[in-house]
Structure 1
C-alpha cells in the first residue's frame, strides 16, 4: 500500500501575517509626530518585523478628520497594488495592543542608495533632476536634486493620484533587489490639491506610456462598483473618492506630470 500523500503546509501571505499575527511591541520610533511602534509579528510559523501606528496615537490635524490617518495609509497601499508597481509595503488595518491601527511590513533601507543630494551648482548633473534651491547656512544656498530614477518617477505618479501632502526624503526606502518603497501616507486623499513632494523633477513633462496605461487601468478600477472603488469607499469619504477619480482623469487628459498649483507649499518641511 502506498504512503498517503503529504499535503505541504499552507503558505502564509504577508497580508495574513500582518492582519492575524501576534504583535509584540519592541520599541518606538521617536522622530515621528504620531505614535509609531516597531513590532514583531508571528503567525503560523512565519515571523517578520512591522510598524504599528495606533489611531489613538494620531495627532489631530485641522485639514483631515480625526482618527482617520491609518485608513488613508491602507488606502494608499490599495491604490499602489492596483497600479501593479508595488511601491507601498504591505499595509493592513487591524486591532493591536493599543487599539485599531495601521500595520505595515518593516523595510530595511539599503544604506548606500543615493536618491537625494545637495550640490553646489546652478543646474543638475546628468542623471539628476532639480527640485529647487535650499539654504545651507551662512547665507549660502545649494541646489537640491533627486535622482532621475524610473522608480521615483512611478512614485511621483502615485503621489499625484493619492494627493500626497508629505513626500519627504525620509519616506523613500530603497529595498533589496532594486525595489523602492514609499512610506508614511497618512495625509493623502484630501479633496483639495495638497500635493507636497520632493519629486517635482518631472513636473510638466509628458507621462511615460507605462504611466498612461496604469492610469487608464486605475480609471477602470475606480469606477463605481469596481473592487478597488468599493474598498476605498471603506477607507476614505465619497467626496475624496470622487476627487481621486478626477485626479486620474486630469492626468490622462493632460498626459503630463502635474505642476505645483501655487495654493499650497510645493515642498514639505523639513524636506528630508
Structure 2
C-alpha cells in the first residue's frame, strides 16, 4: 500500500523576511540598527541587508545616517487609511470631530481594533493651549486602563466580544467574569463615562461608532485633563457632546447609536 504524499505548503521566504523586519520595527518605540534587527528576527546581518535596502527604497523604512538606526515611516498607515471602509469612516468622522473639539475645547481621537490591540487613526486638536492627546498611528494594548479599549470590546457581536474579553482578562490579570462585567457596564452606559473603576490609566470619555451590523467599528474618545477635578455640569456637557458626535458619525456610515 502506497503512503499518501505529504502536502507541502508553498512558502515565500523573502516576503516572510520583509514582514518579520516590519513587525520588529513596529514593536519598538525607538529605531534599531542592522545588528539589533538581525537579532530580533533571528537572522544574520547579511540575510537582512538586501531586504532593508528594498524596504528603504520603497519608503517603508527610513535610516538615520548618523546612528544607522532604521524606523518605520507612515507608509503602512497611509496604505491602511486608503482601504475603502477606513477612508469612508474618516470622511464621515473628521468634520464631526472638528466640531466636537471646538465645542468641548479638548482634543478627540478615533481608534479601531487592530488584532488584540487598538490603533489611533485620527486626532483633532482644539484651538486651546493645554490638553492631552495621542499620536495618530499609535498602538495600545486592550486593557481596562484605556477607555477606547473598553468601548471597542464592549460593542462587538457576541463571539468577538467574548474573544476580546479573554484578551483583557489576561492582560489585566483578572477573572474573565470580572472583565465581562466591566464591558457590560460600558455597554449599559452607551460608552465609557466612569473613571473610578480602579483600572483607568487615562481619564477619558469614549463612545462607540456603530455600523449597520450593530458592532463598533471605532471608538470616539475625548481625553480629559486629570489635574483638576471636572465639575459635574462640565462633565455632563462633554459627555453629551461626545454622545451626539458619535451618534452623528454612526448615522453617516449607516449605523445607529441609542440616544
Higher normalized helix content (fraction of residues): 2
Task: Give the TM-score, by structure 1 length.
Answer: 0.27
Task: Give the TM-score, by structure 2 length.
Answer: 0.28
Higher normalized strand content (fraction of residues): 1
